[in-house]
């Protein structure tokens, strides 16, 4: 690939084999497209990604889906020094990451002759870190973006994404997009367009250009865990609570609070100013339940919830009554503000 210089064009050279790293429905669809276009494809994933559903509610794990589709795929906790990986890489191979949990060392990057790239669904250098769509919803950001980014030794999943940018596709999120699942759905559609462009570029031998990120515009926001971070503070405004609940909606368990000491997970929220303001002392009170909707007081308006479940996922709306109060004890709110989460190949780890 030669020396990497900001803004200088280069050619990847002939490519007929693509090795995918990561998880998710987009990666599976990209592998299918690459195979249809004549590329030899392989995949590597970590244990926690292998057993996860490739799509919310699908009931299909990544490893089972890859097996059913006849893909050559391997579960591996670490690719650095992997004999399976080195046996697959030749001078006509590139590597592509899709939400991978791997960190690549200098030897692995050299193995690919530098042709190792990451599909990033954020507007780099904005939203580095994790829980990208949750943070975007909290900040009312409605601009989506994909980057194909060069992987370097400083890249750490969910922590640092400093690599140079090769291709970009920016898009406006649909007006109806409110939850992380909506953001995921839009991102998957746009990501497929960008991946198709990449395949065409490779097959037609088009030169690429690497561009450095503007570090003075960077924004880092850390990874989150819904069960530890997603507690509702009823002292917030109705709009702030609405965004918070939407940000932890599908495909996540939902923002949570308590009724009579019982934890509840709330989704499908809408703030409404037409019901009038309430005194802050009323915040969290259920004042009406009608046609399957729970009406809750906030200090400057109302919140309408269409879904409420307990920790087992059981629908609790039929059990709620006007006069009950949603309330989150202070210790849960303080714990949420001080909890630091990260994920390794097995799952959640805690950084205190």
The predicted-structure confidence for 331-342, as pLDDT tens digits, reads as follows 999 999 999 887
Range of the domain at 322: 226-350
Domain-ending residue, one of 177, 204, 221: 221
Does 4 map to a domain? no
Q: What is the pLDDT of residue 55?
A: 76
Q: Are 197 and 279 members of one domain?
A: no
Rounded distance between C-alpha atoms, residue 6 and residue 10, angstroms = 11
Q: Are 130 and 277 members of one domain?
A: no
CA-based torsion, 304, 306, 311, 317: positive or negative = positive
Beta bridge partners of 286: 296
Beta bridge partners of 167: 148
Q: Are 270 and 186 members of one domain?
A: no
Q: Are 88 and 215 members of one domain?
A: yes
* 293-313 pLDDT per residue, tens: 999 999 999 999 999 999 999
Beta bridge partners of 72: 42
Q: Are 179 and 94 members of one domain?
A: yes
Q: Are 93 and 234 members of one domain?
A: no
Does 3 map to a domain? no
User: Which CATH number characterizes residue 115's domain?
Assistant: 3.40.50.170
Domain-ending residue, one of 198, 221, 244: 221
Contact 173, 188 (CB under 8 A): no
Does 1 map to a domain? no
Q: What is the pLDDT of residue 339?
A: 93
Contact 95, 112 (CB under 8 A): yes
Q: What is the pLDDT of residue 8?
A: 66
* 118-142 pLDDT per residue, tens: 999 999 999 998 899 999 999 999 9
* 10-36 pLDDT per residue, tens: 778 899 999 999 999 999 999 999 999
Does 173 map to a domain? yes
The tally of domains found in the chain comes to: 2
Rounded distance between C-alpha atoms, residue 104 and residue 78, angstroms = 9
Contact 224, 341 (CB under 8 A): yes
DSSP annotation of 164 reads P
Does 264 map to a domain? yes
| Residue 350 pLDDT greater than 60, yes or no | no
Percent of the chain topping pLDDT 70? 95
* 180-223 pLDDT per residue, tens: 999 999 999 999 999 999 999 999 999 888 999 999 999 999 99
pTM attached to this predicted model: 0.91
Q: Are 172 and 238 members of one domain?
A: no
User: Which CATH number characterizes residue 315's domain?
Assistant: 3.40.50.12230
């Amino acid at each position: 690939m030669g020396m990497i210089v900001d803004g200088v064009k280069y050619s990847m050279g002939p490519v007929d084999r693509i090795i995918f790293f990561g998880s998710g429905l987009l990666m599976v669809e990209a592998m299918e497209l690459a195979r249809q276009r004549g590329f030899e494809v392989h995949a590597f994933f970590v244990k926690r990604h292998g057993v996860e559903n490739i799509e919310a509610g699908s009931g299909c794990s990544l490893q089972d889906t890859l097996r059913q589709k006849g893909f050559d795929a391997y579960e591996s906790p670490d690719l650095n020094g992997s004999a399976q990986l080195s046996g697959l890489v030749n001078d006509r191979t590139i590597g592509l990451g899709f939400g991978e949990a791997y960190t690549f060392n200098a030897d692995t990057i050299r193995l690919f002759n530098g042709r190792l790239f990451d599909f990033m669904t954020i507007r780099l250098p904005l939203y580095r870190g994790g829980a990208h769509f949750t943070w975007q919803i909290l900040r009312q950001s409605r601009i989506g973006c994909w980057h194909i980014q060069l992987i370097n030794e400083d890249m750490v999943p969910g922590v640092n994404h400093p690599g140079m940018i090769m291709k970009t596709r920016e898009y406006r999120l649909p007006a109806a997009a409110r939850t992380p699942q909506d953001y995921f759905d839009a991102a998957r559609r746009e990501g497929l367009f960008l991946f198709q462009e990449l395949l065409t570029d490779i097959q037609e031998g088009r030169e690429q250009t690497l561009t450095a990120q503007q570090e003075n515009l960077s924004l880092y926001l850390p990874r989150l865990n819904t069960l530890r971070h997603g507690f509702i503070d009823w002292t917030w405004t109705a709009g702030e609570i609405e965004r918070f609940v939407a940000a932890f909606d599908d495909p996540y368990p939902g923002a949570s609070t308590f009724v009579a000491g019982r934890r509840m997970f709330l989704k499908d929220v809408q703030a409404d100013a037409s019901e009038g303001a309430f005194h802050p002392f009323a915040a969290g009170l259920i004042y009406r339940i009608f046609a399957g909707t729970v009406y809750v007081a906030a200090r400057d308006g109302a919140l309408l919830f269409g879904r409420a479940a307990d920790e087992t996922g059981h629908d609790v709306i039929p059990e709620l009554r006007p006069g009950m109060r949603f309330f989150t004890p202070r210790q849960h709110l303080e714990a949420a503000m001080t909890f630091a989460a990260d994920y390794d190949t097995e799952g959640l780890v805690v950084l205190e």
